[in-house]
């Protein structure tokens, strides 16, 4: 009997591992936001794989626009601009304003992956925090632009703005018309300042890069948000 004991133990371990694997696979099917192999859907909650999926969308135009099509989100796909390191093929403008507040200026056209991240950001970060701090929704987002063929200031690396894979947000306008600006409210220590800091913190991990007035003087008046692809998927948040 003793000679069979190691085999029985091995069989029991293998059986338990098989059962665990089956349960894990079922759990991932039920929670696709955590499954890096499952396609991205705008309606899904954020999960472990969300950022990885958004970064992948930045390099796959058809998959990204397909996600908006499945969500029946109205948008205009703007013409490709630039070439080489400054080629932007994903520029889009939402037409229904269902996923992101009205943009001011309205003609800004960030890339599809950035827009997808902004939809989740608005749903999970911006609007809940606006309700918490002010009891009302954010109706408009003021921006400083998206597409700009240039290098990162003071560096040789190309900016994510060069492919419209970034956007700069300068102010949040509440439903009652109240303007909350980065340049005017970041350091005030009141509800507006708390809101802005909470939005910055809530953006970390969703976007690849989040830069705020705490980063440097060049960002004193805006949040820089982008979906840069980096080794091992690491993110930057300041």
pLDDT of residue 231: 87
Q: Are 224 and 209 in contact (CB under 8 A)?
A: yes
Full-model pTM: 0.90
Note the pLDDT of residue 14. Answer: 59
Q: What is the DSSP string of 49-107?
A: THHHHHHHHTT-HHHHHHHHHHTT--EEEPPPB--GGG-B---EEESS-SSSPEEESTT
Render pLDDT for 155-211 as a digit per residue (tens, 0 to 9).
889 999 999 999 999 999 999 999 999 999 999 889 999 999 999 999 999 999 999
Q: Residue ranges of the chain with pLDDT lower than 70?
A: 1-30
Residue 58: per-residue pLDDT:
98
Q: What is the pLDDT of residue 222?
A: 98
């Amino acid at each position: 009997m003793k000679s069979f004991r190691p085999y029985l133990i091995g069989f029991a371990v293998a059986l338990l591992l098989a059962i665990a694997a089956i349960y894990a696979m079922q759990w991932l099917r039920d929670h696709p936001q955590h499954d890096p192999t499952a396609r991205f859907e705008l309606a899904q909650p954020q999960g472990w794989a969300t950022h990885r999926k958004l970064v992948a969308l930045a390099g796959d135009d058809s998959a990204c626009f397909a996600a908006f099509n499945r969500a029946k989100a109205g948008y205009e796909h703007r013409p490709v601009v630039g070439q080489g390191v400054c080629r932007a093929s994903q520029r889009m403008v939402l037409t229904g304003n269902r996923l992101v507040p009205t943009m001011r200026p309205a003609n800004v056209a960030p890339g599809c992956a950035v827009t997808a991240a902004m939809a989740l950001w608005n749903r999970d970060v911006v609007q809940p925090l606006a309700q918490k701090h002010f009891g009302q929704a954010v109706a408009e987002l003021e921006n400083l632009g998206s597409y700009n063929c240039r290098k990162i200031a003071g560096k040789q690396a190309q900016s994510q703005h060069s492919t419209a894979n970034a956007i700069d947000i300068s102010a949040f306008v509440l439903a009652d018309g109240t303007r909350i600006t980065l340049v005017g409210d970041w350091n005030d220590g009141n509800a507006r300042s708390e809101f802005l800091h909470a939005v910055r913190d809530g953006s970390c991990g969703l976007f690849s890069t989040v830069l705020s007035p705490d980063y440097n003087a060049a960002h004193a008046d805006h949040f820089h948000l982008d979906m840069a692809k980096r080794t091992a998927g690491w993110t930057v948040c300041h």
